[in-house]
Amino acid sequence: MDLIKGDIIEATVTDFASEGEGVIKSDGYPIFVPFAIKGEKIRACVTFAKKDCAFGEVVEVVTPSADRIKPLCPYFGKCGGCDLQHISTHLQLEIKRGAVQNALKKIAGIDVNVPWPVRLNDWGYRNKLSLPFAYNGRSKRVSLGFYEKRTHKVVPLKWCPLHGEWASKLIAEVSEWANEFNISVYDENTHTGLLRHVVARMLDSLSVTVVINGDKLPKQAELIQKLKRSFADFTLYISPNKKNGNVIMGDSARLVYGQEKPQSLGRFKAIVSPKSFLQINNDVRDAIYDCAANALADFDGDIIELYSGVGLLTAQIALRLPNAKITAVEIERSSSGDAAALMRSLELSDRVKCVCDDAKRFITALPEAQSDEDKITVDEATAKSPYYLGGMFEAVKKALILDPPRRGCDREVLECADGFDRIVYISCNPQTLARDIKILSAKYDLTYVQPFDMFPQTANVETLVLLSKKNPTGISKSTM
């Protein structure tokens, strides 16, 4: 069917797409409509059409779903931060569960009954904020906001319900400072102007980084005074970024105020640099790391962890498995350095080696490891954890942990993974997870899967899976 921009279609929403959009069809031709809910009858206007599909926007909800609710945030639908605020919590979880189950079935060819995602909070869960500076219309007032979805148009905002009250205070203080002293804003078309982003993380205390198209920040002392009005304990960093492109942070972040202090990260404290990756939902992060550690609680061999970041998961496992020897591989130098410092502070350096290397290069050069025959002991807290899986499996000799970025693993990494008895894979993208499982399925069976709702009110879902190596007869050592 030939559709063009501006066409109005009235139809019933038949399904959800991968980013939470509703799907309607016109003579079998799919049209993806954000903010439409499965089961609703809607009128939609086509905004863009291709040969095999089209995109649209809701003009009218003719018959609303019982799961349609009033969004909490006044910016919802304008800013690109949330996808599902208009949908009940139960249906949000069903959408995420379905995303994992459908990806495994359609891409990996594995038909499993995926459990409900673990959801531990609804609002105020984000510990990190990244906001671009922009001029607010003709007034030329400096504002901070989120990008409208799939654009670089900034939607100015004063607060966000996904963050705590600290975010509203930060936005107010930084915006007031920029306007009071007429600090210029970066223009990505002309590559002129100074202020690019403010990046902040709130753990035990606040860390603020101002990303600039330059080397020095004017009126820096005045910004510090503004921040002192709202925050008793904070650090301020400057990150020069003169490059064209979409990368937010520069190559470095220079501390200009405050003192770096260890922050609470689950079972321990550690210093986290502004450039280091850290999961944004503390409660769900800890649940995922508990699950990963407990999946190896009966393990009696060597562990290799790829894409290890700042070493939080590495430390969780090392603290729980007192005889395990772990090699943690991370390509980002600052993150690998933070990981090594963390292991020293926790007195784990004798059995945890932090390697700064590319995952593909490391694993392709990996020699055959010698297994440690010492049996791992399991503490009482681990044994009682709802994520304890040790009783499901036989003891194994060598394990691999994969925690890659959204794009998934390089194929070469997966093809070199046949020497491991067990693989723990943590993913933020069901599509690439299923793709990678399909590659591994020739030698491994999927033996456990658990989604986690790391990002409530959005369509994103985190998933942890276990894969167990098949025995020589082709039958796996364990089953789900």
Task: Give the whole-angstrom CA distance, residue 325 versus residue 327.
Answer: 7
Both structure tokens of 466: 């276990």
> SS3 for 200?
strand
Q: Which residues pair with 402 in a beta bridge?
A: 306, 425
Q: Does residue 356 carry a catalytic annotation?
A: no
Query: Is 260 in contact with 306 (CB distance < 8 Å)?
Result: no
Tell me the Cα Rg of the chain. 24
User: Which one, of 468, 431, 425, 436, lies nearest residue 100 by Cα?
Assistant: 431
Cα–Cα separations (whole angstroms), residue 381 to 317, 388, 440:
13, 10, 32
Q: Which residues are within 8 A (CB) of 66 and not within 5 positions of it... i.e. 6 or more apart?
A: none
Task: Give the whole-angstrom CA distance, residue 387 versus residue 143.
Answer: 44
> SS3 for 203?
coil
Find the length of the chain. Answer: 480
Q: Which residues are within 8 A (CB) of 226 and not within 5 positions of it... i.e. 6 or more apart?
A: 173, 174, 176, 177
Q: Which residues of 391-404 are buried (b: 16+ CB within 10 A; e: fewer)?
A: eebeebbbbbbbbb
Task: Give the whole-angstrom CA distance, residue 158 versus residue 171.
Answer: 6
Q: Which residues of 310-326 are buried (b: 16+ CB within 10 A; e: fewer)?
A: bbbbbbbbbbbbeebbb
Task: Give the whole-angstrom CA distance, residue 350 versus residue 343.
Answer: 9
Choosing from 40, 173, 305, 462, which is the catalytic residue? 462
Q: Does residue 428 carry a catalytic annotation?
A: yes
| Residue for token pair 């693989």 | 423
Distant-in-sequence contacts of 20-23, Cβ < 8 A, 24+ apart: 20/83, 20/84, 20/87, 20/95, 20/458, 20/459, 21/83
**Could you say which DSSP state residue 324 is in?**
-
Q: Cα-flanking dihedrals φ and ψ of residue 460, to 5°?
A: -75, 150
Q: For strands 302-306 and 398-402, give the pairing.
A: parallel
Q: At what angle do helices 220-230 and 165-180 cross, to 10 degrees?
A: 150
Task: Give the whole-angstrom CA distance, residue 305 versus residue 64.
Answer: 47
User: Which one, of 279, 293, 278, lies nearest residue 454 by Cα?
Assistant: 279
Residues labelled catalytic: 428, 462
